[in-house]
Amino acid sequence: MDAVVAAPRALVGGAVTGPVAVRIRGGRFVDVTEDHAGATEVLTSGILTPGLVDVQINGAFGVDFADVDPAAMRTVAQSLPSTGVTRFLPTLITAPVPTVLRQAHAVVAASAALPTTGVARPLGLHLEGPFLSPVRHGVHDASVMVPPAPANLDLLLADEIVAAALKIVTMAPELPGGLEAVRRLVDAGVVVSVGHSNATAAQTTEAADAGASMVTHLFNAQSPLTHREPGVPGIALTDPRFTLGLIADLAHVAGPICRLVFAAAGPRVALVTDAVAAAGMPPGRYRLGGADVLLTEAGVPRSPDGTIAGSALTLDRAVRNIVSLGVSEQDALIAATRTPADVIGEKWLGRIAPGAVADLVWWDDDLRPRKVWVDGEVAFDAEVDDYAELATAGN
């Protein structure tokens, strides 16, 4: 029997419309209509959207993807739907290439061991390093950064397991051999994202000419935007070939600048969390790439020297933050669904349309996830979870 979810409003075809009835069969959307007849579930408030897609997440809920096993991956995948995320791209930060390969194998194996229902689904791998600029290292260990020399790329691309999983490589294209590395990775079907880069505007444009199509955490750990040398951000904001990863915790990028980014390049903005193990957790000490980071009451993870170390952001909160700045609900939600799916070539994710994967989020009127479906199956239900918490508290 088909499931039919009816809602007063929904994000369909890049616009908020309604009323809408979405028919699901075999984990896919069959059709989208206004006819509520035969609905198996009728939502009376809020908005229905595609599932959120996070293409840069280093860990969450106490788990660091640099040190993951099947149980830890299951913790993350079971918890992410409560934040509206149905698909995610585990991200590994800078380490020596052999270490990256070992970590990548562990991520792939842990992903394959996940249950078939009730969890958010990993999409592969995002390698944020080690082909980064020591000048813009951020919290990454500059001492183990290496240029994207053919021998280093050989190690990644000759590994069949890693090559099959690899979706994004963040790199600094101005490094020796950088542009050739961009071309080689793109030819291998990998998205190249400019990040942790001291590239000039001209070098950033050359990277786009070579096939780079994304910018990692816009404004952070990259050459600055100035009125005579636009740097990485200036080209990112004006070159339509780039999709812009934006960490909207309002600490990495201030609110007025987030609003400016949406005004300049709204359809090309992909909200990301850059979350670390501290996301979804109380203040305390956590790990990122094997190093300690401290999450204080201020809510921003930092290394022992005070450098921002990823975020404790969840993607639903990123959406709320952007809407609070005056950006439309529609634009904020597209930036967390369709745009990140599109940049990695997942054309059947991040949208409510016939044939697309049936990932859904029902948000309440305060833009908090109330119910989430992955492949047409319920993976999170706030009413059930709230009842379970009350029952546990009463025992």
Distance, C-alpha 348 to centroid of its chain: 16
H-helix or E-strand containing 54? strand 52-57
Domain residue extents for the chain: 3-48+356-394, 52-343
Q: What is the pLDDT of residue 35?
A: 81
Task: List beta partners, residue 361.
Answer: 49, 372
386 is an active site residue: no
The C-alpha atoms of residue 350 and residue 178 are separated, in whole angstroms, by 31
Domains 3-48+356-394 and 52-343 share a fold: no
In whole angstroms, how far apart are CA 154 and each of 158, 162, 172, 180, 326?
Answer: 6, 11, 18, 13, 46
**Residue 196 in contact with residue 138, Cβ under 8 Å?**
yes
| CA neighbor of 163 nearest in space, from 148, 185, 181 | 185
The C-alpha atoms of residue 213 and residue 343 are separated, in whole angstroms, by 8
Q: What is the pLDDT of residue 133?
A: 98
The C-alpha atoms of residue 308 and residue 361 are separated, in whole angstroms, by 30
The C-alpha atoms of residue 166 and residue 185 are separated, in whole angstroms, by 10
Q: What is the CATH number of domain 52-343?
A: 3.20.20.140
**Residue 193 in contact with residue 168, Cβ under 8 Å?**
yes
Instruction: Give the CA angle between residues 327, 331, 334 to the nearest 5°.
Output: 145
The C-alpha atoms of residue 133 and residue 156 are separated, in whole angstroms, by 19
φ, ψ of residue 328 in degrees (nearest 5): -65, 150
Question: Which one-letter amino acid corresponds to residue 246?
Answer: L
CATH number 2.30.40.10 is the correct assignment for the domain at 3-48+356-394: yes
Exposure b/e, 113-132, CB count within 10 A at least 16 = b: ebeeebbbbbbbbbbbbbbb
Residue spans of alpha helices (H) in 123-192: 150-157, 160-165, 178-187
The C-alpha atoms of residue 338 and residue 26 are separated, in whole angstroms, by 21
DSSP classification of residue 321:
H
In whole angstroms, how far apart are CA 269 and each of 24, 319, 333, 384?
Answer: 29, 12, 10, 34
Residue tagged 């790199």 (tokens): 171
**Residue 274 in contact with residue 345, Cβ under 8 Å?**
no
Residue numbers of the chain with a pLDDT score lower than 70: 386-395
Q: What are the tens digits of pLDDT across the range 244-281?
A: 999 999 999 999 999 999 999 999 999 999 999 999 99
Is residue 68 helix, strand or coil? coil
| CA neighbor of 217 nearest in space, from 318, 304, 124 | 318
Count of CB atoms situated within 10 Å of the CB of 200: 17
Q: What are the tens digits of pLDDT across the range 121-150?
A: 999 999 999 999 999 999 999 999 999 999
| CA neighbor of 225 nearest in space, from 252, 247, 200, 260 | 200
Q: Of the residues 54, 64, 249, 274, which is catalytic?
A: 274
pTM passes above 0.85: yes
Q: What is the pLDDT of residue 330?
A: 97
> Roughly what angle, to the nearest 10 degrees, separates helices 201-210 and 178-187?
30
Task: List beta partners, residue 291.
Answer: 288
The C-alpha atoms of residue 50 and residue 146 are separated, in whole angstroms, by 39
The C-alpha atoms of residue 351 and residue 360 are separated, in whole angstroms, by 9
| CA neighbor of 148 nearest in space, from 99, 181, 100, 174 | 181
Q: What is the pLDDT of residue 386?
A: 59
